[in-house]
Amino acid sequence: MTASTWQADLSRRPQTDDQGKPLWELLICDRSGSWQFTRRASQGDISGDWVGQQLAEAIALHNPPAGIQVFRPQSFSLISTGAAPLGIPVEATRYTPQLKGVLYHLSKEVNGWEPLHIEELPPQPLPERLRGENWQFAALAAGEVEYAFRDRPIPIVSTPDYALPIAQGLGSDLPVPGLIVYGGRASRALAQWLQSINPVALDYVSGPPNGMILEAGLAERWVMATFEDPEVAQAAAVFQQRKQASEGIHFLSVQPDDGGVTTSGFWLLRG
């Protein structure tokens, strides 16, 4: 039997223990939603060792996982510490739909509790040495996305299953929007840096100035481009509309130039 991947969260709950101290809860589920595991403890008892003990208990009930996915920055370190002695890899990712669905359902039972809220960091400029020479909006038909870069020698390609348009039931002719950055001589270095920060999603933010913001990691934000031209702003609005129509699926591509021959990195994103 193939080991499943777990999704886990450790956060403060809106309840207290008998002494009035805050309660924290470890919540685990698998990606299919077939089971859940929860354990609570007072804030003073929460540690990496405590997490490890609960993970060991969950393993005894449900078999060891292939890995654990965590979306909350504040809980990543503790869960990683608890999982390390058990040999379980922990992945930092914002894409934990089953876990977030459980938390959303639980939040409806308590007024004012927002367990999915993650404080956004202010967007940072790209490192100056990595800024591209130019950029443009683009689009690919949903039916072409999966195969457009399959046989090309691209150093960095990320096309996760949850972001494949056809697998998600999108029509093959539906335009999937994207942003192409022409990096010039810095193209390879920019692609490597982007891979290191784990791109999540691109969003158009109206200004002034208008900008394209890259969500990355668990809570990082980076300014990919700024602009004031009304025509570019209209193109950005079309990007956002297409992104909504494609259920959040879009792409980011880094190329040395606009010749279309060489691509340094391609990321299929969803968010």
Other Cβ atoms less than 10 A from the Cβ of 208: the count is: 9
Give the pLDDT confidence score for residue 1 in this predicted structure: 58
Angle made by CA atoms 216, 155, 225, in degrees to the nearest 5: 40
Q: Is residue 204 predicted with pLDDT exceeding 70?
A: yes
- 47 to each of 22, 25, 52, 69, 257, how far by Cα in Å? 14, 12, 9, 18, 50
CA distance 99 to 29: 6
Predicted model pTM: 0.87
Instruction: Find out whether 123 and 222 touch, Cβ atoms under 8 Å.
Output: yes
Q: Is residue 212 predicted with pLDDT exceeding 90?
A: yes
Q: What mean pLDDT value characterizes the chain?
A: 93
CA distance 92 to 171: 31
Per the listing, tokens 């994103």 go with 269
**Left if phi > 0, otherwise alpha if psi is -120 to 50, otherwise beta: which for 210?**
beta
- The domain spans of the chain are 5-107, 124-270
- 152 to each of 148, 155, 193, 263, how far by Cα in Å? 8, 9, 21, 9
Q: Residue range 46-75: average pLDDT? A: 96
Cβ partners under 8 Å of residue 97, min gap 6: 162
* Most confident region among 54-58, 129-133, 153-157 by mean pLDDT: 54-58
CA distance 177 to 138: 6
The backbone torsions φ and ψ at residue 150, rounded to the nearest 5 degrees and listed phi first, read -60, -45
Q: Is residue 152 predicted with pLDDT exceeding 80?
A: no
E strands of 65-219, at which residues? Answer: 67-70, 90-92, 124-125, 134-141, 156-158, 175-182, 199-205, 210-216
Give the pLDDT confidence score for residue 148 in this predicted structure: 77
Q: Residue range 9-37: average pLDDT? A: 91
The token duo for 73 is 């920055």
Alpha helices in the chain (DSSP H): 48-62, 73-83, 97-107, 142-148, 187-197, 230-245
Q: Is residue 59 predicted with pLDDT exceeding 80?
A: yes
pLDDT tier, 270 (very low <50, low <70, confident <90, very high otherwise): very high
Other Cβ atoms less than 10 A from the Cβ of 104: the count is: 12
Q: Residue range 8-24: average pLDDT? A: 91
Q: Residue range 149-171: average pLDDT? A: 88
Q: Is residue 139 predicted with pLDDT exceeding 90?
A: yes
Angle made by CA atoms 25, 29, 34, in degrees to the nearest 5: 140
Give the pLDDT confidence score for residue 261 in this predicted structure: 81
State pLDDT tens for residues 73-87. Answer: 999 999 999 999 999
Pick the CATH number of 5-107 from 3.40.190.10, 3.40.109.10, 3.30.420.10, 3.40.50.10190: 3.30.420.10
Give the pLDDT confidence score for residue 153 in this predicted structure: 86
Alpha helices in 68-206 (DSSP H): 73-83, 97-107, 142-148, 187-197
Task: State the amino acid at position 247 in one-letter form.
Answer: E
Q: Residue range 217-230: average pLDDT? A: 94
Q: Residue range 89-115: average pLDDT? A: 93
